[in-house]
Structure 1
Amino acid sequence: MSSSPEFLVFGATGQQGCVVARALREAGREVRAFVRDPQSERARALAAEGITLAVGDLFDRASIDRAMTGIRGIFSVQASSPSGLVTDEQEVAQGKAIADSAVAAGVAHLVYSSGGAAGKGHTGMGHFDSKSRIEDHIRGLPIAATITRPASFMEMMMLPGMGLNTGVFTFFMQRRQSMQMIALDDLGRINAQILLQPGRYAGQTLELSGQDITGEYLEEAFSRAAGHPIRYQRFSDELLAGNDFLRQLSALVDKGIVAGVADIPALEREFGPMLKLDQWLSGPGKVLFEEALNAPQAGISLR
């Protein structure tokens, strides 16, 4: 095996890129991670695992071009506007720049991580529609590409303010309404498999999810994991009335656009068993769950 990296991973210090880079490395492949700050804790952790760092900035096309040297497969993901780091237009520009650079460098295969709401018509929410625009751009390029559309991450439920530490967990779906979710570990290994078998997956768009989850199921699973009752409720009408972002997102869940449409049995036949919430809570998500459960109650609550 050559010591020259085969794969270039963008967003490598973020949630998705990190798990993809590690899954590729665990498969014995040489990986180059595109990072802005090589001295950050996450970048140093990647380097300690034998992942090569390419220092650059997604606003600097020349640094993207340099990172492409000798690469045959790319994982592309960008921050979106809810992060506060970029605007919707900047996300689109970055996604296009990576794809254009890959074409110019003669890269064989590009995997773009989009979103579950993409490709389903205009949503009116910029950070969803931006991904559809990037998808369209990639499809028009002379490069073998695979588009993956992950459902909501299980890890997302552990964000501050959701109420686990108060005994009342609040989220987007109604109690009996289903919403698809996926564990980041599954997302990492699936995207790595796609990169390792480009001939099998090039030209495909794959909706990714691990489980259909209702509010009632969340209540049961969280209560079991916590060892005491955790009640589930949707965001209150009062909160939704005063928060445009949450109101629009909840409406897209109700319409099914954000709820997820993945064929989970087909995914499991192709990629193997997916982590279910109970498994995640007792495994890779255990520390996150305990931190959220025991977080101080002072501060803003999204309820």
Structure 2
Amino acid sequence: MNQNKTVLVFGSTGQQGGAVAKALRTNGWSVRAFVRQLGGAKAKALEAIGVGLHQGTFSDFSSIEKAMSGAYGVFSVQPSSGQGAHGISDEQELRYGKAIADIATAQGVQHLVYTSVAAAGKGKTGLGHFDSKTQIEDHIRRLGINSTIVRPVTFMEMLLLPGMGLEQGTFRFFMRPNQKMQFIAVDDIGKIVASVFAYPERFSGRTIEIAGDEITGNGLQEAFSRAGRKTITYQRFPDSLLQQNALLGRLAELVDDGRCAGVADINALRSEFGCLMTVEQWLAGAGKPLLRAALRAPAAAVALR
């Protein structure tokens, strides 16, 4: 039934968009990927599974219009402002997110799915890459297009970024040892979004915070120790670091007040979307090679101290 419906996926060479494109193809959808470079390795990997490639950039609205022509659905994600290899400003993220929604509305797209962030819609955070998403959400709701907004909590993949201390037998993150925080695997974001497109009558008009697991710092200590087969000790980022680094300090505050800790109803999500990975399940599967790499990372690669 989905073979005659095409979904245009933004960010398809990144984590969320890539997971969404693969999940949609698995479920029989025709998928177009909006990419910067047609010849890149990630673009070619998408092409190998039957994804059509459309070249363009967020700043070239005509390329967005061309890629979106005739599409049934659109998955919208932009680079978070100030982050990544193709970092953009807060103003650019806001402009691009609004423009995609406007073009989708003008072209008669039947379902727009926008991926936001768990901290959105809960008051100003003071962090542009969160607050811009709240503004994009508000803009989409005013347009009248059939839309669904998903708000993922922290990715499990972020747990294994350089600088968390695993190579030295420790793990550092934002929550306190007994404090709970929610996480989601990017593959589960793809699974959820594919279900949203499959059942528009159920999900249109909804804003859904999504998570797969809730775990404390001490729980992460146990999970990493079991998965890594060595003793890993959990510590919150030291106060000295949080005081020196304004971004990390503010993120810690948002975890403490709950906005970045996550408030998703995981049991309800599992009822709607099926099994969602726990941290331990993810570490035993997709996260396993990432954990191995983190455990043997050289000290020079550590970014956070």
| Same fold, judged at TM 0.5 (above) | yes
Alignment RMSD: 1.2
Report whether the alignment pairs 1:117 with 2:114.
no
Identity percentage over the alignment?
Answer: 55
In 1, Cα distance between the equivalents of 2:2 and 2:136?
Answer: 32
Given that 2:3 and 2:28 are in contact with CA atoms closer than 8 Å, whether structure 1 keeps it comes out as no
Kindly report which structure 2 residues correspond to 1:1-303, keeping only aligned pairs within 5 A, or say none.
Answer: 6-84=6-84, 85-303=87-305
Q: TM-score, normalised by structure 1?
A: 0.98
Aligned letter for 1:101? I
Given that 1:182 and 1:208 are in contact with CA atoms closer than 8 Å, whether structure 2 keeps it comes out as yes
Please state whether the residue corresponding to 1:143 is helix, strand or coil: coil
In 2, Cα distance between the equivalents of 1:200 and 1:163?
Answer: 43
In 2, Cα distance between the equivalents of 1:2 and 1:213?
Answer: 36
Q: Residues 29-72 of structure 1, C-alpha deviation per residue, up to 9 Å, x if partnerless?
A: 11001101111111110001110001111111100000111101
Q: Give the CA deviation at 1:300.
A: 3.7
- 284-293 vs 13-22, which moves further: 284-293
Please state whether the residue corresponding to 1:43 is helix, strand or coil: helix
Q: TM-score, normalised by structure 2?
A: 0.97
Q: Which runs of 4+ in 1 moved over 6 A?
A: 1-4
In 1, Cα distance between the equivalents of 2:28 and 2:194?
Answer: 11
Unaligned 5+ segments in structure 1 are none
Given that 1:219 and 1:232 are in contact with CA atoms closer than 8 Å, whether structure 2 keeps it comes out as yes
In 1, Cα distance between the equivalents of 2:279 and 2:96?
Answer: 33
Q: Give the CA deviation at 1:2.
A: 8.5
Please state whether the residue corresponding to 2:281 is helix, strand or coil: helix
In 1, Cα distance between the equivalents of 2:303 and 2:59?
Answer: 34
Given that 1:24 and 1:31 are in contact with CA atoms closer than 8 Å, whether structure 2 keeps it comes out as yes
In 2, Cα distance between the equivalents of 1:301 and 1:57?
Answer: 30
Q: Give the CA deviation at 1:284.
A: 1.2
In 2, Cα distance between the equivalents of 1:193 and 1:57?
Answer: 27
In 2, Cα distance between the equivalents of 1:201 and 1:35?
Answer: 27
Q: Give the CA deviation at 1:142.
A: 2.2
In 2, Cα distance between the equivalents of 1:5 and 1:269?
Answer: 26
Q: Give the CA deviation at 1:3.
A: 6.7
Please state whether the residue corresponding to 1:270 is helix, strand or coil: helix
In 2, Cα distance between the equivalents of 1:3 and 1:196?
Answer: 12
Q: Give the CA deviation at 1:163.
A: 1.0
In 2, Cα distance between the equivalents of 1:145 and 1:113?
Answer: 11
Distance 1:211 1:3, change over 3 A: closer
Given that 2:225 and 2:231 are in contact with CA atoms closer than 8 Å, whether structure 1 keeps it comes out as yes
Q: Give the CA deviation at 1:301.
A: 3.9
In 2, Cα distance between the equivalents of 1:271 and 1:299?
Answer: 37
Unaligned 5+ segments in structure 2 are none
Aligned letter for 1:83? Q
In 1, Cα distance between the equivalents of 2:113 and 2:204?
Answer: 9
Given that 2:162 and 2:301 are in contact with CA atoms closer than 8 Å, whether structure 1 keeps it comes out as no
Aligned letter for 1:50? G
How many residue pairs get matched? 303
